[in-house]
Amino acid sequence: MRRGEILSLRWNQVDFSWGLILVTGTKTGRNRTVPMNSTVRETLAALHETKHGDLIFKINDVKRSFTYACRKASIMDFRFHVLRHTAATRLGSWRGCLPNRSDSGSQYDSDVGAICTWNQ
């Protein structure tokens, strides 16, 4: 998920029974569902017990905190967006698909999660 999608996430977009998050207001204009792993599900469930309002996260930007956390962990030259690629790769291998990288070099085509070739 993109940073803006995460920060604008509302409780009515989280389906604990199916383990899915409905992402709306995307950059592409198309809604999509994202499966939750056990860590995300447990973390959101704990937050849900103490919820105050519709928004899950009550912050506008995570850039400063993310930069600070990376510096504390001695991680250099790492951007939040890279996590999206890591998640797409892991989700792809979990679902049994292999990344299909295009030679065109566009951001959409090079995004690991954009196109998958399903294993038979």
**Are both 12 and 56 inside the same structural domain?**
yes
Task: State the pLDDT confidence band at 43, using cuts at 50, 70 and 90.
Answer: very high
**Are both 30 and 49 inside the same structural domain?**
yes
Q: CB under 8 Å to 115, separation ≥6 — which residues?
A: 99, 100, 102, 109
Residue 4 CA to residue 95 CA, distance in Å, equals: 25
**Are both 1 and 54 inside the same structural domain?**
yes
**Are both 35 and 74 inside the same structural domain?**
no
Q: CB under 8 Å to 73, separation ≥6 — which residues?
A: none
**Are both 69 and 52 inside the same structural domain?**
no
Quote the number of domains for the chain: 2
Query: Residue holding tokens 């690991």?
Result: 112
Whether the full predicted model's pTM is greater than 0.85, yes or no, is: no
Q: Are 78 and 70 within 8 A, CB to CB?
A: yes
Between residues 58 and 15, the one the model is more confident about = 15
**Are both 50 and 73 inside the same structural domain?**
no
Structural domain boundaries, residue 79:
62-120
Q: Which residues pair with 33 in a beta bridge?
A: 22
pLDDT at 105 (0 to 100): 39
**Are both 67 and 115 inside the same structural domain?**
yes
Q: Tell me: the pLDDT tens digits for 52-105? A: 889 898 877 777 878 888 889 998 887 767 766 666 666 666 555 545 444 433
